[in-house]
Structure 1
Amino acid sequence: MSPHRGPTAFVKFRADAPFSFHISATESRHRQGGDGSRAYYTRSRLVLQQVRQAGPAARVVAESAHFRTLPAERWARDYGRQKVMFVLPSEALGDCVGVVLFLRAFRRRFPEAGVTIANTGAASDLFGREPGVRVLPLVVSEKELDGHFPIIDLGEVDGWDTVTTQPVDVETTLLLRFGLDPVEVPPRPLSAGRPAVAILPMASSPLRTLPPQVAAAIATALHEKADVTVVLNAYQGLKPAYERRLVPLLPKDVRVSPGFPTTAGLLDFLAAQDFVVTADSGPAHLSKLFGTRGLAIYTSASGTVLQGRHGNLDLWQVDYAGRHCAAPCGLAKLRATADGRVGCMGSLNLPVEDLPNLVGEAQPALAERLTFDDHVPCVARLVEERDRVAQAALDHFSSLSSR
């Protein structure tokens, strides 16, 4: 019988000279070098770019290599003192939070097992804070593969291959696969004194970003009761344009933060907040780790699915229905027709079958237009009901403050 191979594909390369790789979005301790192996595996564009430019010092030997892994139907077993390597198929923060919560349950059940997680990329700061978890950010060496058994490719998680069209509760799916009970994270009460409130409106897609008018309405509703900060980020280069549109709409005492250069910085900031209002993006999921109270606002994806068992955030789900779609439709990213038109079912007035392609490369001009001027229908509905959303945030905050 041929060995089982995981679905996550790596590029295999050899290096005849020392190397050192680091992603700027992570702490310096996650810099990774060689260990004398004959071959290495990576999914990182940064690493591949440097390998291909290294001349005779490094060379690609296989464009699509798959690790020999434990089949998913055998994951519910006793791991004892084994050294387990989990292979991460994606570094998206939301999915990675689900994996972190699963790893907490795994380590509680198997405290003597070694745990390594590979291909953590920009999420390395997140995994690196978990006790007893080793991270391999960018490269997996042959020595690492030989030193672990079993190797588990989390790309086999039910539904992970379709997360761009149908959201998945990664934590619950993994817990069920491994037969584990969750580790509870109790909702955290508001601290004494004047609370700190963060609004995090930007997501990696215009389908999920809260337009500036929505963020401003929420900030205006909350600023008299708390110290409010609106946190921006560099998604698709939209931060300057977002800030230009946002600041004139804000009360003078609301602070605007440019974001954080590392995931560790974002984690530290969120840990200090009493209440958050988020788009459907990484911070909504990161709040689960701290039990931070707040409100998460969902447009195209189902908040019920994505928040899973966690009740720390109230949910606002946009109510929209059109000819070819209804919120939540499940899309996480923009899609394209065969002839290159980009949007969603509602904005292009087409069924999903006519949008077969994901949009690969960033398109800043398109992202700017859809974020600020030509919203997809469910986001346009959110703009229309922004005052109701702001009131919901205020009501939830006030109910917690009075306890």
Structure 2
Amino acid sequence: MGNAIVFDNVRKSYGQKAVIPNLNLSIAEGTITVLVGPSGCGKTTTMKMINQLIQPSSGKIYVNGSNALDISPVELRRNIGYVIQQVGLFPHMTIEENVTLVPRLKKQAGEVNREQVDRMLQLVGLNPDEYRHRYPRELSGGQQQRVGVARALMSDPPIVLMDEPFSALDPITREQLQDELIRLNQELNKTIVFVTHDMDEALKIADQIIVMQDGHVIQQSTPEQILRHPANEFVRGFIGEKRLTSHLTQSVDEVMVKHPVTIAPQKGLAEAVKMMVRKRVTGLIVVDKDGTYLGLADSADIHARYPEESLSIRDVMRADAAVVNVSTPLAETIPLVQQAPYGYVPVVDDLGRLRGLLTRASLVDVLARPYLEGGEEHE
């Protein structure tokens, strides 16, 4: 995989003020790269220099190996998709006419057929028969934004720029379009440069995140690496890392389900099924009379052996499933719970006695808590 976009000592000044003092960065082809940072950090200026909506004061910008400054701005922009917050659909044109605008400007009208339009609309989740002949005013904000994405993709550009395209939408529509964007790029493999001030959005959609401050790249890495290893206090504060890790440094004891449903090893399978129905659970934790953990018995394992009347729960339980100690830091348990075949992991003390159950649901609760309690303060 090569680099689709390269900034080489790029500077942008307005008079004596340098909004981009000296920028060097590379954006890999086929990725969603998100420029993120507070207002005025230079992220939108950086993106607009890619398609020459803003001209750099000095330096070079390479787009797919060619110096973008040697290409006419009109020609460059016709080969780079562009999606903005205000959508920019032409109100007097139908949806089909809006979607085919760039090919028609490139005088490819004869090559544009209904199948291409239909495919683009289907890609962004719009029924062609229902929307092709409508006008923008007849669509919701989310639908208009989908048309904007379809228009940007219609001429099959290798690069698509997206300038806070979802920020004006309601949270549900925004979430849907973020999911659509991830799905689209898995299918189309475009190089997408996406500007946002919302770190949650960046973490969700990005393959690479570029955190900017005062025209400088402070950190460029994967979402995982930025969360685990923020470059400095600015990045740590911007992503809300303190609020997140303050919960992940909790022990398992503070998060686990305290009273899981248990069963004695000598109990029969019919008794086990009756208990699961009564307690509304899909599995049981097997313990002895002293509360020592022995194993797990899932409903699938129980039902598979149910016709054999002589069997006890001990005969079908799994004794080799992973367990965690009650004092384990929560962060260390996440991979175990993610990989657990039943979605939960028993918690034991130093003597092997059952203390509780760590579930995927309990992890989701604790991971979501900083955002529910802290609002948008990290922005």
Q: What's the TM-score once normalised by structure 2's chain length?
A: 0.25
| Greater percentage in strand | 2
TM-score where L is the length of structure 1: 0.23
Higher helix share goes to which structure? 2
Decide which structure has the larger Cα Rg and report it.
Answer: 2
